[in-house]
Amino acid sequence: MNRIQAENKLQRLFKHKSFYNDQWRAIEKLLEGKRILMIEKTGFGKSLCYQFPATQFNGITVVFSPLIALMRDQINYLKNLGILAECINSEQSDEENNEIIEKALNNKIKILYIAPERQENLKWLEAVKKMKLAMIVIDEAHCISVWGHDFRPAFKRIVDLVKLLPANFPVLAVTATATEKTAQDIKKQLGAEKITYIRGNLLRSNFKIQVARVEREEDKLGGILKFLTNIQGTGLVYTGTRVNTDIYANFLISQGIKAIAYNAGLEGEMRKEIELKLKRNEYKCVISTNALGMGIDKKDVRFIIHTQFPQSPIHYYQEIGRAGRDGKNTDIVLCYNPLDRDLPEHFIDTARPSKDRYERVVDILKNSPEPLRERDLTKKSNLKQNQMRVIKADLIEQGIIKEVMYGRGKRYEYQFNAPNLNTTKFEELRDYRLEELDKMIKYVEEHNCRMRYLRNYLGDKTNDVCGKCDNCLNKNIFWKNSSEMEKKVRNFYDSYFPELKVANGKTKLVNGVAASYYGFSNIGSVIHKCKYEKGGDFPDFLLKQTLRAYRKYFKNIKFDFIIFVPPTESGDLVRNFTEKLSKITKIPISYSLYKVKETKPQKVFQNFWNKKENVKDAFDYKNPQELFNKNVLLIDDIFDSGATIKEITKTLSKYNINLLSPLVIAKTIGGINVK
Amino acid sequence: MNDFTYITALAHLPKWRTERINLLIVDILKKKKLTFTEFFEVEKDTLQKDFGLKQKEIDDILEVKQELPNYAFLVDELLNQGFELIPIYSLDYPKTLKSNLGDAYAPPLLYIKGNKEIFQKEKVAVVGSRNVSQKGIDFTKKITKKLVKQGNVIVSGFAKGVDRVALEVALENEGQSIIVLPQGILTFSSGFKKHYQGIIQGNILVMSTYHPKLPWSVGLAMGRNRYIYGLADNIYVAESDFKGGTWEGVIDGLKKIKQFRMEGYRKIYVRYADRQEKCANNELIKKGVIGINNNLEVISDLNNLNQNKVNPEQIELF
C-alpha cells in the first residue's frame, strides 16, 4: 500500500485527510512487519500510527497501556468510527472482561487495550495464546527503562515478550517523554538492530511557563490562592507529598475555592469520582501528588502549578504534559524555594531499601520449605509493603527470585544458581537521579528560554525560543504574602486538624481527628521525648491543641464517656492525658478497656499485617454492659496504621456499642507516602 | 532469544513424528545453515523443493507460522517463572538421551526447572511397577542408597511405588535426582511446592518433554518411560509385572543391548526374586537382564560372554 492509497483509506475510516510525515514513516514500517520506537509530544497523533495499521491487519492489535482512563477514551473514539476496539482492565467486572476475551478469540476485535499487569494474569495468558495476533503496541514506553522517570516492573514483562516475538512481527513503542538516554535504553531492550527510531519536536507552543520564587511555605499557599482567584478555567496543583494535598486543598477550600485533594491513598471509587468531576469542570482545581496526571483525559487543563519541584526535568515535562491539549493558552507555574531540594533528595536516597533488607528477603526465600506468597514474605521479613515491592522487583530483575503461578496465586521462589545481589546498579541509578535533580535546579535557575531548556534536555536539540516564558518576557516572579494574606494562612494553620479516615461503613468506627501531623513543627519530637526518653507527661500545649481539634471536629457528637488505649511501654502518659481531657471536657472517663495479652510497641512492626497480628485479640472490656448503645471517644497518642483502633473496635462492637471515634495527638506521615 | 519461540512451535507440530521434527531441525540448522527466522521466511516452493516437505506438512508449517506470536507468549510465561528450555541442538541437552533414543525418539525440546548440570553426570534409573511388593521397596531403598553414595544421579518418573521411593531415598542421602514428568511442566505445581528446597539447592532437576500445559494422562506416563530409560546410563529394575511400562521398557532396552553388544554400553539389572513372588523379575533374567541379589551382587549375566551362563532356576543353590 502506498501513501495515497493509505490516505484514501484514512479518509474513509478515520475522516482525516492525510498523515504527518512521521506518522506515515511509522505506519509504512509497521505494515512491513518492522519495529518502531516513536517519541512525539502529547497531542501529536501517536495513536493513529497503530490504529490505522491495526485496521489493515488480519488479526488483533494488542495495546499495552497503563492508563485506564485513556484506554476508555480511545475506545469510545474508535467505536464511534465503527472500528472494533475493546479494553480489558481491572475496573471492569470479570464477566465484562471474559466477554471481551471471548470476542477476541473469535477475532471480532481489531484493537484490544490492556494493562501491562495483565501479563501476569492467568486467564489472559491462556486466552492470548489462542488469539490471532497482528501487532503489539507499547504505550508510555518510557516505563520500560529504569533510566526513565516512571519505570514499572510490569513493563519488563512486555520487553521479555517482544524479545521472543518472531522477527517480522510489527511492534510499536510510543512515548511523549523520554530523554536520549532513556530512548537508547528502550531501543536496546527492544532489539536495537531491528528498530526504527522516530523522534519529533517537543515544543508545546501554547505553554506559558514560569517559575515563582518563594521563601516560605506560607507564601506558596498565599501565592496559589491569589493565582487561582485571578485565572479562568480549571487546572491542577501538584504537591510533593500526600499530606500536602490535604493541607493545600483544605486551605483553598477554607478560602472558598472549589478544590479537592487527590492521592494514591484514596479509595479507587473516590479517585474515579474526582477524575470525572474534574473532567466536567466541577472543581477549580485538584490538588494532587503525581498519582494523578498520566491517566487524566482532559483537553482543557488550563493551568498546572507545582508547589514543589519534581525530581527531574523529565518528571516535570511529563507532569505538565497533560495540560492544554486543546492547544489554547495554558499557564504552567513552578514554585521554587531552594530549601525544597530536601524532599526530592530524600526520595532519591530512600528509593531503595538498604542492602540488608534485600538480603533478609533472599534469606527467607532460601530457607523457606516452600515458595511464599507476597503476604507471607512481607510478614516474615517485617518490611513495609512499598519497600517489599521495590525489593521484589529488583530481585526479579536481577534473576535472584522469580514470581511463579501456583494455582491462581503468585508465589516467590529463590532460584538455583542465582547471582549475588548487585548493588552497583542501584548506586549508578542513584547518582544518575542526583544528576537529574541538579538539572531540575538548573531549569529553575535558567536565564534563557525555559521551553528550549526542556526541549534540549529531552534530546530535541533546538535554538528556538518560545517567546512566552518568564525568561523570554524578562519577568522575574516572586510570591510573597501581603499582611492580609498572611493572616489568612496563619488562621488556617492554627485551625487545621488532620482527619483520621477510619470508617468503612461496616463497623461502629467513625472517622476521628488528630491534633496535628507527627512531623509537623516539633510535635513529633516532643511526643518522642515524653514516651521514650522519660520526658514526663505530655505538655499542656499538646492538650490545648488536642482540645481545639476535638471541639472543631466533634461538634455534632455527644460522647457518653472517654476511654484510652492501654499502654505497652510508655507507662501512664496516655492515661494521664486522658484524665486531663476528661476533666476539661466533662466527659466521664472509663478505665475498663484493658489488655488480655502482652503486645509489642506497634512501631516495631513495619507493615499492616504484622501490626494487625500484634494486637489481634489483645483487648477486652471489664464492664461490657456499660457500653450498650453508648458513644465512646477513644484516646491515643499516635495514629499510624490504625490497626490498634480497628482491633479495639472489633472487641467493643461485640458489646453493642453505638459508635466509637478516635482522637489522637498526632498522625504519622510516613517517609515514603508520596504517591 | 526468539529461537525459543521457533523451536517450541516446531517441537509441537501437530501429529508430526519426533523423527520428522528432528530431521527438519537438522535440515534447517545443519544442512541448510539457516536461522529459524530465515526458515520461516522461505517461500512455499522452497519448502517443497529444498526441504522435501509434503503438502500437508507445508500447511502445518504455514499454520504454525501464524501461531508464532502465541508461542512467544507461552515461552515468555515459562521463562518468567524460572523454567528453562533446552532444544536438542543445545550443549546442555543430555548426551545419553540423544544417543540412547536417536533421531527417532529423542525429544526435540526439553522443559526443565532446577540444576541442569545434573544432566551431564552419571545417571541411573531405579524402576519398577506401581504396586511394588515390600521386597521390591526394600531393594529399591538399598540399591538407591548405594548408587547415590557412588555419586550417581537417580532418574525418577515420580510415579507411585519404586519411583517415589527411589527419589525420597536419593534426597535423604543428599543425592541428586532428575524427575521426568508424565505431564506438562506447568501442571506440576504441587510437586514444585513439595520439592522447592531440593530444586533451589541444586539437587533436583525437573524435566518434561510435553507441551507445558498438558495434564497427566496414561498415554503420557507410558511415553515418559522411554525418556527415563533414555536418560539413564544404567537401569535397575526393582520389580516388573509381566506387562506394562516397566516390562516393555526393559524388553525394549534389552533389544538395543543385543543390537549393539558393545563394551561400555549401558547395563540393565534386575532384582532376583524369590520363588513365591509373582513378579516377572526372573523372567527378565531368563531373557538376559543382569540379575542381582539383595546384597546387590551380580548373580547372573547372560549377555556377558566372559562369564559362565547361569541357569536362574539354580541360583538359589549358591
Chain-chain contact of A416 with B200 (C-beta, under 8 angstroms): yes
The closest CB to that of B200, out of A128, A130, A415, belongs to: A415
Chain-chain contact of B193 with A165 (C-beta, under 8 angstroms): no
Least confident of A230-244, A568-582, B247-261: B247-261
Judge whether residue A603 has pLDDT over 60: yes
* Residue of chain B with shortest Cα separation from A397: B80
Domains in chain A and their CATH numbers?
Answer: 3-199 (3.40.50.300), 207-345+437-490 (3.40.50.300), 349-425 (1.10.10.10), 497-667 (3.40.50.2020)
**Chain B CB within 8 Å of residue A408 CB:** no
Confidence of residue A117 (pLDDT cuts 50, 70, 90): confident
DSSP category for residue B211: -
Which residue type does A459 have?
G
pLDDT average, residue stretch A450-468: 95
Tell me: the pLDDT tens digits for A364-417? Answer: 999 999 999 999 999 999 998 889 999 999 999 999 999 999 988 899 999 999
- Confidence at residue A583, expressed as pLDDT on a 0 to 100 scale: 94
- Phi, psi angle pair for B223, to nearest 5°: -60, -35
Are the CB atoms for A311 and A439 separated by under 8 Å? no
Judge whether residue A670 has pLDDT over 60: no
Least confident of A130-144, A165-179, A507-521: A507-521
Chain-chain contact of B69 with A366 (C-beta, under 8 angstroms): no
**Chain B CB within 8 Å of residue A505 CB:** no
Domains in chain B and their CATH numbers?
Answer: 3-80 (no CATH), 116-317 (3.40.50.450)
- Confidence at residue B305, expressed as pLDDT on a 0 to 100 scale: 45
Judge whether residue A591 has pLDDT over 50: yes
- Phi, psi angle pair for A242, to nearest 5°: -65, -40
Residue A665's closest CA among A565, A581, A543, A569?
A543
Percent of chain A scoring above 90 in pLDDT = 68
- Confidence at residue B126, expressed as pLDDT on a 0 to 100 scale: 94
Are the CB atoms for A590 and A575 separated by under 8 Å? no
Judge whether residue A212 has pLDDT over 70: yes
Q: Please tell me the distance in Å from A305's CA to the nearest CA on chain B.
A: 42
Task: Suggest the residue from A34, A125, A416, A417 to mutate for an interface test with chain B (most B CBs closer than 10 A).
Answer: A416
Strand segments, DSSP code E, in A162-275 are 171-175, 195-199, 207-213, 235-238, 259-262
Q: How far apart are CA B277 and CA B282, in angstroms?
A: 10
Chain A residues close to B80, C-beta within 8 Å: 157, 160, 402-403
β partners of residue A332: A209, A304
Dihedral, CA atoms, A430, A432, A436, A439, nearest 10 degrees? 130
Q: Please tell me the distance in Å from B38's CA to the nearest CA on chain A.
A: 9
Identify the contact set of chain B against chain A, taking CB-CB distances under 8 A: 1-2, 4-6, 37, 40-41, 65-66, 68-77, 79-82, 114-115, 189, 192-194, 196-197, 199-202
Q: Please tell me the distance in Å from B254's CA to the nearest CA on chain A.
A: 37
DSSP category for residue B6: H
Judge whether residue A29 has pLDDT over 60: yes
The closest CB to that of B2, out of A166, A414, A416, belongs to: A166
Chain-chain contact of B72 with A415 (C-beta, under 8 angstroms): no
Give the angle A423-A424-A428 at the CA atoms, nearest 5°. Answer: 120
Residue A390's closest CA among A433, A356, A351, A429?
A351
Are the CB atoms for A624 and A600 separated by under 8 Å? no
Q: Please tell me the distance in Å from A166's CA to the nearest CA on chain B.
A: 6
Confidence of residue A521 (pLDDT cuts 50, 70, 90): low
Judge whether residue A324 has pLDDT over 80: yes
Query: What SS3 class is residue A117?
Result: helix
Confidence of residue A602 (pLDDT cuts 50, 70, 90): confident
- pTM confidence score: 0.85
Q: How far apart are CA A562 and CA A584, in angstroms?
A: 12
Chain-chain contact of A165 with B77 (C-beta, under 8 angstroms): no
**Helix ranges restricted to H, A297-449:** 313-321, 342-349, 355-367, 374-381, 385-397, 424-445
Judge whether residue A72 has pLDDT over 80: yes
Chain-chain contact of B72 with A370 (C-beta, under 8 angstroms): no
Which segments in chain B show pLDDT lower than 70? 257-265, 302-318
Give me the residue label for grid cell 493565582: A227
Strand arrangement of the beta sheet that strand A303-306 belongs to: A259-262, A285-288, A235-238, A303-306, A330-336, A207-213, A477-478
Q: In Å, how far from its chain's centre is CA A399?
A: 27
- Confidence at residue A295, expressed as pLDDT on a 0 to 100 scale: 63
Chain-chain contact of A125 with B73 (C-beta, under 8 angstroms): yes
**Chain B CB within 8 Å of residue A400 CB:** no
ipTM of the shown complex: 0.89
Interface of A with B in 161-190 (CB under 8 A): 161, 163-169
- Confidence at residue A520, expressed as pLDDT on a 0 to 100 scale: 66
The closest CB to that of A125, out of B65, B77, B79, belongs to: B77
Chain-chain contact of B69 with A169 (C-beta, under 8 angstroms): yes
Query: What SS3 class is residue A383?
Result: coil
